[in-house]
Structure 1
């Protein structure tokens, strides 16, 4: 009584597993490329949210650091004023790098990725 069936391929197993997870509600349905939500794509919303966070985080970090330095050195309000402006400048620089497609990795060079290296 040997039942010698050929095992299913990995692609078949993967498809069956995905379908079972989808029917059980464990996976959300696969997004349609270019799917929009009210005229704005999810990618655009993510980019806008990231720009806002970069700007606000720079200012808040400068504010907190300036307040701490003013409290420590008793130089109210000069440390806070200077570091809020520096934080805003840092936020704008981060948005500029984001808009130009520059990465955060060390040694990243836009020309290397475009030209194929060296």
Structure 2
């Protein structure tokens, strides 16, 4: 057996060991069941979505109120109304996202318990 063949065999063995360790979940954060289930990157994505929902709702409401104020000459009343409506829309969107995330987590827990 040549040196290259021995190195290839050693590499194959090490790759097999790594795959087995990955399948067993070695090195994963506690509570993770494989893939991204319960993983930090998925939760970070949900957090970023919530932050964007908050900012976008408030900015859109304030912008529309400001534009309506300039068009109708009612400064600052429609800006204030738009800001309040934007805040309400933003919080209702955040609540909707949180409820969907809770339902998804509950379904995953139930599926794990059935296994």
Structure with bigger helix share is 2
The SS at the match of 1:76 is: coil
CA distance in 2, matches of 1:72, 1:54: 27
Shift of 1:35: 8.6
Residues 1:98 and 1:35: Cα distance change in structure 2 (over 3 Å): closer
Q: Does 1:65 align with 2:58?
A: no
Q: Give me the TM-score of the superposition, normalised by structure 2.
A: 0.55
Structure 1 segments of 4 or more deviating over 6 A?
none
What's 2:87 paired with?
88
Residues 1:89 and 1:35: Cα distance change in structure 2 (over 3 Å): closer
Q: Give me the TM-score of the superposition, normalised by structure 1.
A: 0.53
Cα RMSD for the two superposed structures = 2.6
CA distance in 2, matches of 1:34, 1:61: 33
Structure 2 unmatched runs, 5+: 1-33, 108-115
